[in-house]
Structure 1
Amino acid sequence: MDINFELYKVFYYAAKFESFSEAAQKLFITQSAVSQSIKNLEEKLGGQLFFRKSRKVKLTWEGELLFKHVEQAYNFIKSAENKFYEMKNLDTGEIRIGVSDTICKYFLIPHLEKFNVEHPKIKIQVINRTSSQILELLKNGLIDFGIATLPVKDKNILVKEFITVEDIFVACHKYSALKDRKVTLRELTKYPLLMLEKNSTTRHNIDHFLEQKGVTFTPEIELEDIDLLVEFAKIGLGVACVLKQSAFNEIEKGQLFEVEMAEKLPPRKLGICTMKNVPLSRAAAAFIECLQRTGHSLQS
């Protein structure tokens, strides 16, 4: 049976105020329109809903039963409406973000902190994965958006460029022979190298660059975590290829130095990835707007 919600709306107001005239005033319609709506509903249901008196009306037993259900439905609708407005005004909601540990630590945390202060009722969930894993999470609907190393070749994923980052080689005093001079990629192959695992997008981009230069690196150690690469470099296990920001403090303290390369690694672009034709929640859209607005400052 098709439900005419307008009839139930009129019934709700008439029952609540026990008056057709008051219902008409609240709904901005005529009293005769209220009477006709109630008559139509009674005919539709096959029973009487009100006892008509002079100015007031009283619900029949069947009307009382119906009103309890309609009132509950009305309250649910009002609650849903309020939640909708809260989400629209960023008073509630949830954001699910996919991002690598390193990018989260060195670029995203200040923005997470600021957004949380401005919108404390928004729940933020951060899932740490590699770029390829982030894209899978996105396609499976497990995150709202992800930050991944470009390029992304999936046509179903919409990419907006976020920031450009730089990968560098760092070493401790054990490899001081590499300090204060230009070092070629081929010379670097003679040293123990510490790099990200081969399956990562970042490593794939580096290997592609090396291939174009006719150079092959065979790392001594491969890890998933850039911060661990920095730590291993500090204790002299080799020359590490890391995100520049991840080694900034160690370089400042003199624990590591940047190996100045004759052929620098190409800058790496990161993008904000969302699914095409899948609308974002207001909270997720607001966070992305914040990132895009201030993306340039993250690179300083």
Structure 2
Amino acid sequence: MALNFELYKVFYQVAVDLSFSKAAAKLFISQSAVSQNIKNLEKELETELFIRSTKKVQLTEAGKILFEHIEPAFNLIENGEKSIREINALERGEIHIGANDTISKDYLLPYLKKYHHLYPEIQIQITNRTSSTCIELLQQNKVDLIISNLPNPKITDQMEYQEIFSFNDLFIAGSEFKELREKEIKLKEIKYYPLLMLEAKTTTRKFLEAALTKLGIEIEAAVELGSVDLLIEMTKIGLGIALIPEYCLDLKKEELFEVKTKEKLPARKLAVVKNKKIPLSRAAEKFLDLLPENRE
């Protein structure tokens, strides 16, 4: 027997109210339509479900058994509808973002703070990986969206991105290299100093090597590290010169300075990347609304 949800919906409402007229009013149908639906269901089940009298309506034993089975299902449906309404009203839900440590700490924090203030019931999850690895998380649908450095060669045709921020990368040094403080050197001279660099798999490292290769400059890392924060700390103690995104550091507050070069590295971008064919949740869309578009 094929399940007729409409018949069971009518049965459920009559069983709750023990009244054909009240059920009709709540279902926005006529009382005669309610009676006909109940008759049809009783015919399909080959049993009476209600004892009808002029004074009241009662469930038969078969009706009680059926009600016991379908009541939990209707409660689940009602709870599901309530959950959807809450999600659409941003009263519950979650957003899952992928980004590297530097972007999370030095760029995203103020936007996350504002988002939490506006939508305190939305759970925020941040997965910290390299920009390249974040692409893999997006492909596996483990995150709603990612914030990535550009260029990122792992972005595929199945993804779309929106630029949100432009920045330059700076070579920085500490007092161990004070002779460079007031100088402007040729970019090719940077290879004569110990370079503190991010690991080879990172987008920033690949960007630097590609930019220098175009100028015929080959470099080697004196020290490889896993985060920009470590690059900065190692630079402070004089281990070498590091390249970092300008938004990560306020040089005025640190015992560091920019090593100026005659040739400038190309500017880079931060971008929101998402899957083309997977619609974002309302919670994720509201987060995107807070981010600027290609702010220079």
Instruction: State the shift of 1:253 in Å.
Output: 3.5
Residues 135 and 236 of structure 1, relative CA distance in 2, 3 Å threshold:
same
- In the other structure, the counterpart of 1:35 is 35
> What is the CA distance between 1:159 and its match in structure 2?
1.2
Map Cα deviations across residues 125-163 of structure 1 (whole Å, 9 max, x no partner).
111000111011111111111111223441112211121
Report what 1:200 is aligned to: 202
Question: Which letter does structure 2 place at the counterpart of 1:208?
Answer: A
Q: Deviations over 1:239-290 (max 9, x none)?
A: 1111212231xx2145111011111111111211111211222111211221
SS class of match (1:64): helix
Superposed CA offset, 1:86-125 (max 9, x none)? 1011100011111110011111011111111221111111
The alignment partner of 1:155 has SS state of coil
Whole-Å separation in 1 of the counterparts to 2:173 and 2:159: 38
The number of equivalent residue pairs is: 294
Q: Percent identity?
A: 45
Contact kept in structure 1, 2:151 and 2:207, CA below 8 Å: no
- Counterpart selection for 1:244 from 246, 253, 269: 246
Work out whether 1:290 is the aligned partner of 2:290: yes
Shift of 1:55: 4.3
Q: Distance in 2 between matches of 1:267 and 1:238?
A: 23
Q: Summarize deviations over 1:60-92 as a string: whole Å, max 9, x none.
A: 001011112222211111111111011011100
Tell me, yes or no, if the aligned pair for 1:172 and 1:257 is still in contact at 8 Å: yes
Aligned match of 1:224: 226
SS at match of 2:262: coil
Q: Secondary structure at the match of 1:189?
A: helix
User: 1:93–1:121: 8 Å Cα contact kept in structure 2?
Assistant: yes
Counterpart of 1:66 in 2: which secondary structure?
Answer: helix
Per-residue CA deviation, residues 174-211 of structure 1 (Å, 9 max, x unaligned), is 21221223211111111111111111111111111101
Runs of 4+ displaced beyond 3 Å? none
TM-score by length of 1: 0.94
**1:127 matched to 2:133:** no
- Alignment map for 1:1-300 (pairs within 5 Å): 1-152=1-152, 153-248=155-250, 251-253=251-253, 255-292=255-292, 296=295
RMSD value over aligned CA atoms?
A: 1.5
8 Å Cα contact 1:20/1:56 also seen in 2: no
Matched residue SS, 2:271: strand
Structure 2 unpaired stretches of 5+? none
User: CA–CA distance in 2 between the matches of 1:3 and 1:151?
Assistant: 54
Structure 1 residues 206 and 61 mapped into 2: Cα distance closer, same or farther (>3 Å)?
same
Q: Give the distance between the partners of 2:169 and 2:125, measured in 1 at CA.
A: 28
The residue matched to 2:185 in structure 1 has which SS?
Answer: coil
Alpha carbons of structure 1 residues 122 and 253: separation in structure 2 relative to 1, 3 Å: closer
Q: Secondary structure at the match of 2:192?
A: coil
Whether the aligned pair in 2 keeps the contact of 1:19 and 1:55 (CA below 8 Å) is no
